[in-house]
Structures are given as structure tokens and as C-alpha cells.
Amino acid sequence: MRHKNINHVVHEWIIPYLKDNQTIVDATCGHGFDTKFLSEQGVNVIAFDIQIEAIEYSKNLLKDYDNITFIHDSHIHLERYIEHCDGIIFNCGYLPHSDKKVITMPQSTLEAMSKAYSLLSDDGWMCVTFYQGHDGGAQEMKLGSAWMREHLNIIHEYTYENVNNPPLALFGTKKDA
């Protein structure tokens, strides 16, 4: 049976949590798929990417949207740009059809998740999609998913059945809310 696209599943999870005027971080902007979706829901989006090509591509794609701030920097520096956020989404791995050497890394992903957590509002959420196909991806999924299960109330999770090394998406809300 064909499975539902994991990126679309994640968007369905997020919709009920969004309210006008919230600030949501897209920690891995890439080609802007999540940023576009969030922007269209009416929230303010802060989109990070370390690759200038990704930022330029998304800026151009989304030039008519006025509720997005693009930041060309690593998400481990997110506290330099924002004081608080209501939700944060990560889509790990590499940018499709691009340089497969620029990937999210287990340690920096963990560091960014932990910093993001401390900036989350009390009813904030975090949503992360992990992939195993790239260098360090299996480790990133193992450490990142364990961290999320420890620190968040996991509300949703999704993976592909009957697929080798499938991706994993987790959605959780802040525990000490």
C-alpha cells in the first residue's frame, strides 16, 4: 500500500496548533516547503538555512509573502535572532537535488533542539523529521528521537512501514507546560 508523504503528514499535525501572530521557526528552510506552508497559515515564520543557495531559492519562491524572515545562519545560533517561539520544525538531512555534503549533524541538531526548547512558549511544540540515508543520519535519528521522547510529550509519530531505513517524524509539546 502506498504510504502518505511524511512531509504532508507533519503539516496535518501542526495545523491545529497554529494561531494568528505566533512565531514559528523553520530550522531547515531548504527549498521552502515547510516555510511556505507555515506562512500560508498566517503565522510569522523565521526560516534558517546554512546554505545561501537554499535561502536565495526560498526568498525568490516566496517573495510575495510578507510574514517570513530568512536567516542565513546555522540553527544552533537561533537565540541570536529570536527571544521566543511558539513552535519549531526541523527537516533533517540534505537539501534534495543539491550538495549532499551539507547535512544536518547529530550534535548540532541536538544542540539546536535543546536551545529551541528553552525558547518555546509554554504551549509550544517541536516537530522533527529524521532520515537515515545520509552520513550520521542513523545516529541523528537515534539521539534526536531519544532526546525528544525524554523532553517532550510525544503526541504524534509516523514512519513508513515495509521500507528499509525509513524516515521518522515526531511531534511533541513542551513537557513542563
Nearest distance from C-beta of residue 18 to ligand SAH, angstroms: 17
Which residues have a Cβ under 8 Å from the Cβ of 39 and sit 6 or more positions away? 45, 62, 65, 67, 68
Q: How far is the CB of 104 from ligand SAH (least distance, A)?
A: 4
Q: Please give the residue whose beta carbon sits closest to ligand SAH in the complex.
A: 30
As measured in angstroms, the least distance from the Cβ of 1 to ligand SAH is 24
Smaller CB distance to ligand SAH: residue 139 or 153?
139
- Edge-first strand order for the sheet with 68-71 is 68-71, 44-48, 23-26, 85-91, 120-130, 168-174, 152-159
Tell me the three cell numbers of residue 62. 516566496
* Cβ closest to ligand SAH, residue 33 vs residue 65: 33
Cα–Cα distance, 2 to 159 (Å, whole number): 12
Longest dimension (CA), the chain: 45
Nearer to ligand SAH, 53 or 157 (CB): 53
Shorter beta-carbon distance to ligand SAH: residue 44 or 109: 109
Which one, 53 or 153, has the nearer CB to ligand SAH? Answer: 53
| H runs (alpha helix) in the chain | 6-14, 33-40, 52-61, 106-119, 137-151
Q: How far is the CB of 122 from ligand SAH (least distance, A)?
A: 26
Positions that interact with ligand SAH (CB under 6 A): 28, 30-31, 33-34, 48-51, 54, 74-76, 91, 93-95, 102-104, 108
